Amino acid sequence: MATPLATSKDGTISAFASLPPTAVPTLPFFDTVIIGAGAAGLFCAGQAGQRGLKVLLIDHAQAVAEKIRISGGGRCNFTNRDLDPQAPHKHFVGQNPQFCRSALSRYTPADFIALVQKHGIPFHEKHKGQLFCDRSAEDLIAMLLAECTAGGVERWQPCSVKKIVFLASEAYGTGSGSYQIHTDRGLVQARSLVVATGGLSIPKIGATDFGYRIAQQFDVPLVERRPGLVPLTFDGEAWAPWAQLAGLALPVTISTGAKKSRMAFDEDLLFTHRGLSGPAVLQISSYWQEGTPLAIDLAPTVDLPAALAQAKARSRKLIANELAQLVPGRLADAWAGRDADWQRPINEATDKALTRLAEQMARWELTPTGTEGYKKAEVTLGGVDTRALSQQTMECKAQPGLYFIGEVVDVTGWLGGYNFQWA
């Protein structure tokens, strides 16, 4: 039988181009090479290894899983009990949030919790179903590394990938082939290649666009990327009056969009020198479209019109002082300072002025000029277009043996442990 001819997808001439992959005598061969030893790559490596595959895990960083290490204030919010395995897409953003349904209903938070318990890691629940390690995120990293060891995973770190070449070969069936991965530790070959290089946020701990470049090399479409779960910024001059509130936090309802596309969150808002942050703003940032306004209810649990009317009937104090009984004092002062009608004793204020005050605090409309960018973003929105992937296996439909997993894919979770569950 004639040796099947191998061709590289990017046209690169390979020294082994005319040999079937298994016939290359000196080339280390793996069933799977995974690029990226973050949450997704480590988990995938452990699972694949324990199912009997020979796995190599490569990362260009010295340390594994830096994002796990810094997450959740060092305690890692590793999953969320509110994730509904029947409708997980409710907590995810992307062009097709339904894409995550298959994976997240087959591997649920309960499955991950069982793994954490198997490793004897103590944890606790905080706000809205969020689970955190009691001790440190290092517990989770140790767990994922132990799972890799149990699967006999080989790990190369730090190791840079220089080039990837696909060798089509009938040896693995029609349309199949293998991958040659050129690294600074040498050349390896694998039947499948898993890209788990994450998103663009926090470049100083190893984030790169490498996964997107691999997608482009293999003509896998990408959805435009932008920072998500990120503080929002405002025009400097316009923000100056609010900048003095930096450090102030309060519960709000925040929303963006209209009608069917409206999204709203009940969370804490934090004023900063350059704009707004806190869980409310991080959540809404993943839905906010540039140039559109946000609407913020600054006192969502208070019936402001009624409270102000009652105060008017019984008090001679300044409006700001009465308002300070309902919202934080610094906010009350700043807000009342915006209008001459609000800078007087409440019993002298007109009903119209108090109604306007209540209405405006219940619907503060403001349009951010931008975000704090990838330096502060927790995640990257967009990425590998889910239409190009199988939702059962994450394999590229048009490129056999190539898989994309974790944050590099256009699936982004809400704040609260959803992103690690996805990874």
Residues that bind ligand FDA (CB under 6 A): 35-41, 58-61, 67, 70-72, 76-77, 161, 196-198, 201-202, 206, 208, 210, 378-379, 406-407, 417-420, 423
What does the angle CA 21 – CA 26 – CA 32 come to, to the nearest 5 degrees?
A: 50
C-beta nearest to ligand FDA: residue: 38
CB of 189 to ligand FDA, least distance (A): 18
Q: Print burial letters for 229-258: b (CB count within 10 Å at least 16), e (below 16).
A: bbbbbbeeeebeebeebeebebbbbbbbbe
φ and ψ at residue 169, rounded to 5 degrees: -155, 135
Closest CA to 284 of 207, 328, 231, 359: 231
CB nearer ligand FDA, residue 172 or residue 374: 374
CB of 31 to ligand FDA, least distance (A): 19
Closest CA to 228 of 30, 3, 407: 407
Contact 383, 222 (CB under 8 A): yes
CB of 67 to ligand FDA, least distance (A): 4
φ and ψ at residue 99, rounded to 5 degrees: -55, -35
CB of 162 to ligand FDA, least distance (A): 10
Query: Is it true that the peptide bond before 158 is cis, omega within 30 degrees of 0?
Result: yes
CB nearer ligand FDA, residue 299 or residue 423: 423
Burial of 86 by CB count in 10 Å (0-12 exposed, 13-18 middle, 19+ buried)? exposed
CB nearer ligand FDA, residue 242 or residue 404: 404
CB of 81 to ligand FDA, least distance (A): 13
**CB contact set of 303 (below 8 Å; sequence gap of 6+):** none
3-state DSSP call for residue 126?
Answer: coil
CB nearer ligand FDA, residue 233 or residue 419: 419
CB nearer ligand FDA, residue 64 or residue 294: 64
CB nearer ligand FDA, residue 193 or residue 326: 193
Residues in the chain: 423
CB of 43 to ligand FDA, least distance (A): 8
Contact 23, 13 (CB under 8 A): no
CB of 89 to ligand FDA, least distance (A): 16
CB nearer ligand FDA, residue 324 or residue 381: 381
CB of 164 to ligand FDA, least distance (A): 11
CB nearer ligand FDA, residue 61 or residue 246: 61
